[in-house]
Amino acid sequence: MYYASIQKCSLSWLFTFLLLTQSGFAQMTSSVPVDSIDAIVQSHMRNKHIPGVSIAVVRQGAVVLSKGYGLANVELNVPATPQSVYAIASVSKQFIASGILILAQEGKLTLDDDIHTYYPQAPQTWQGITLRHLLSHTSGIVREAPAFDPTKIQPDSVVVQSAFPLPLQFPIGTKWQYCNVGYFALADIIRKVSGQPWSTFLKERIFKPVGLTATRTTTLSEVVPNRVDGYEWEKDHLHRAIPYRALRPSGAFLSTVLDLAKWEAALGTTKILTEASQKEMQKPFVLTDGTPYPYGLGWRIDTLMGTSWIHHGGSLPGFRTEYARFPQAGLAVIVLTNSEQALPEQIAKEIATRYLRSTSGKLASGK
């Protein structure tokens, strides 16, 4: 078998094999040579034993570079391309957040609704937790609920309710701590308010209108064209990662760099989210002591080279992902990988730095 033979091959041969690149749409920009981007990605692949990577660079809503490197499936020698479908993990959180914001735009809920509005049986200690706290990871709820089982399919509400008996990790709104339970609750609230399964609501209200034809909920049983397999590196060889059978709203979706590029273009308009909603997403949460924390609603908030950097990463067995936006520069970099050892945030930063340097003069002059 091919997989057995690749485990026995020399490391130098494996690195050479993994660094074969496959292009989808890839063009030379006037200021950033494609081979400089290739060098960044190939260096990471070699150093971190990454089988496959797909990237997209978006400038002013248009894709200026999309490319696949290495392999989407090692056993079958399937190349990674811009059309390769990856598990995007917690990059999915922005879509759950967008679903909540769409319902808020329609007056069907508010971000300051108490969680008891939707979970009246929640403990008294949760009184004062709002949807905004859930979206911004400042609720104090435990990161993972006891009932979550990656092998078990069950209602989101069951997972959320299993966290009811547990004490809050800190007083509401006083700290930031990553909380997947909050996004299980938010997905369930979308279902309760919209009257549709949250996956259907997001498909009908976001994916279809934007033309995200390859984006969908994660599934192990259904046939998904161009699906990528996830891998781990152990000592001196690759092995397949064991995927979650259960669908996690906190990291729910499969997608491609080209679909996410379409979403990036949509975020430059008010087609799905109003200007006010987008400002809410990109506004740091203010803790109870008045300190702003660099996380908004499904997005981390930072700066890079003096410009706003709105981003989020994701991690699931066999996959690491990053979606980085630089709104002031009209730039976005999307990096999807099928390796647990990958550092896609670093890849995205290095790529973005090349493009930001090329536009730094224009930014400084306000052009």
Sign of torsion over alpha carbons 254, 98, 293, 184: negative
Nearest CA to 217 out of 352, 301, 82, 96 is that of: 96
The answer to whether 309 touches 324, Cβ cutoff 8 Å, is yes
- Encoding tokens for residue 327? 């709104």
- Encoding tokens for residue 154? 């069950």
Q: Residues of the chain whose pLDDT is less than 50?
A: 1-30, 362-367
pLDDT value, residue 360: 67
Residues 62-97 as b or e (16 or more Cβ within 10 Å = b): ebbbbbbbbbbbbeeebbbbbbbbbbbbbbbbbbbb
pLDDT value, residue 247: 84
CA distances from 215 to 207, 269, 321 (A): 7, 20, 15
| CA 27/CA 209 separation, integer angstroms | 27
H runs (alpha helix) in 204-342: 208-210, 257-267, 275-281
CA distances from 31 to 28, 54, 355, 365 (A): 8, 21, 8, 17
Query: Radius of gyration (Cα) for the chain, nearest Å?
Result: 21
Q: What angle do CA 305, 311, 314 make, to 5 degrees?
A: 135
| CA 142/CA 171 separation, integer angstroms | 12
pLDDT value, residue 211: 98
Nearest CA to 27 out of 18, 15, 37, 17 is that of: 37
Crossing angle (nearest 10°) for helices 34-48 and 344-365: 150
| CA 30/CA 111 separation, integer angstroms | 43
The answer to whether 175 touches 140, Cβ cutoff 8 Å, is yes
The residues with which 206 forms a beta bridge, in sequence order, are none
| CA 297/CA 136 separation, integer angstroms | 5
Helix (H, G, I), strand (E, B) or coil at 72: strand
| CA 222/CA 211 separation, integer angstroms | 21
